[in-house]
Structure 1
Amino acid sequence: MERDHVDRMLQAWTDRDPQLATEPLAVAGRILRLARFLDIAIARGLTPLGLSFEDFDVLNTLRREGGGPVRPSALARAALISSGAMTARMGRLQNRGLITRTGDDGDRRAVQVSLTADGEALATRALAAVLDADESVLAPMDAASRTAVADGLRTLLVPLEHSGTA
């Protein structure tokens, strides 16, 4: 099997300090590098659409939640971001005509967020671009390998999500 950057890094650490327990880096280092490659591929897919990943996330979280109307606080929770970050993103998206913010009939102090028709169309195109980017990175893996990796990552993520530390 061909060696990657992490293999070379681990070998360098073994050469430098043979007693150092570097086994966790074999997985963690690859997860971090893979995340960076995915970030780059996704950014390339979204750039022609004029979207950052953060704006894509808001649009498609809203789309996944049914398009609206949704309270910004619920949208922020679903997107796993702070309400302050959500407010800034909503302002950008509203200025582009991709979302609307309207008063909440049940609470005059609150607002509701909805996708516009343009927002729905762009969210659909953006999701296709992100899925294409994901596929381009994952292409070397067959279906069984993808399932095994997804299961292994779930094994790591579930206890972290339950601990509330992330």
Structure 2
Amino acid sequence: MVAEWNRRAPSLDVEPLQVIGRLLRWAEHGQRAIKDALRPLGLSYGDFDVLNTMRRRGDPAGVNPRELARSSLVTSGAMTARLDRLAEAGLVVRATDPADRRAVLVRLTERGEQLATEALAAVLAADEELLAPLDHAQREQLAALLKTALSPHETD
């Protein structure tokens, strides 16, 4: 593509296409690999994200759904739909927050904890396969470069 553009329009700077085009293609491969890894477990990426956010936080009392929505960058309505699906599947339970009876806390069930563990292993294996062509030093370099490139566009 770059060679064709260089022949067709030599004054056009198409260097960004070499990076962004490859990143987009790599992201597509990564998304497909993760989706394929989660399919046998009956989980979407959104479900995986919720389960493993709760698992990573490790709060035995549970997590406020608004906090989960914020950390997942989804609306509260989308989080409610995810939590409804996960509760129906027996992976999470909702309980009244003892500190605020108007609020709800969500926590993993034993089955949810187990599935979250399996799902993380499956996603890490898919990630490892995608990164297989790179050695440790190259992975660290790539991670650092991506962090630098993303930092002006990220908000907390």
The TM-score with structure 1 as length reference comes to 0.88
Partner residue, 1:82: 75
Shift of 1:40: 0.8
**Root-mean-square deviation (CA), in Å?**
1.3
Task: State the shift of 1:140 in Å.
Answer: 0.6
Runs of 5+ in structure 2 lacking a partner? none
Contact 1:67–1:120 under 8 Å retained in 2:
no
Q: 1:63 aligns with which of 55, 63, 76?
A: 55
Counterpart position of 2:130: 137
Does structure 2 retain, via aligned residues, the 8 Å contact 1:70–1:112? yes
Q: Secondary structure at the match of 2:134?
A: coil
Q: Of 39, 44, 51, which residue of structure 1 is paired with 2:43?
A: 51
Which of 2, 6, 10 is the matching residue for 1:18?
Answer: 10
Cα offset, 1:12, TM superposition: 2.4
Which whole-Å CA distance do the structure 2 matches of 1:64 and 1:87 have between them?
A: 20
Of residues 119, 126, 138, the one that matches 1:126 is 119
Of residues 148, 155, 158, the one that matches 2:148 is: 155
Is 1:35 the counterpart of 2:23 in the alignment?
no
Q: Which string of whole-angstrom CA distances, capped at 9 and with x for unpartnered residues, describes residues 100-151 of structure 1?
A: 0111122222110000000000000000000000001100100010011000
Paired letter, 1:55: D
Name the CA distance, whole Å, in 2 between partners of 1:157 and 1:141. Answer: 20
1:130 counterpart SS class: helix
CA displacement at 1:82 relative to structure 2: 1.9
Give % identity. Answer: 55
Equivalent residue, structure 2, for 1:104? 97
Tell me how far apart the structure 2 counterparts of residues 34 and 90 of structure 1 sit (CA, whole Å).
Answer: 30
SS in 1 for 2:95: strand
> Gapped runs of 5+ residues in structure 1?
1-8
Using the TM superposition, give the Cα deviation of residue 15 of structure 1 relative to its aligned residue in structure 2, in angstroms: 2.5
The alignment covers a number of residue pairs equal to: 155
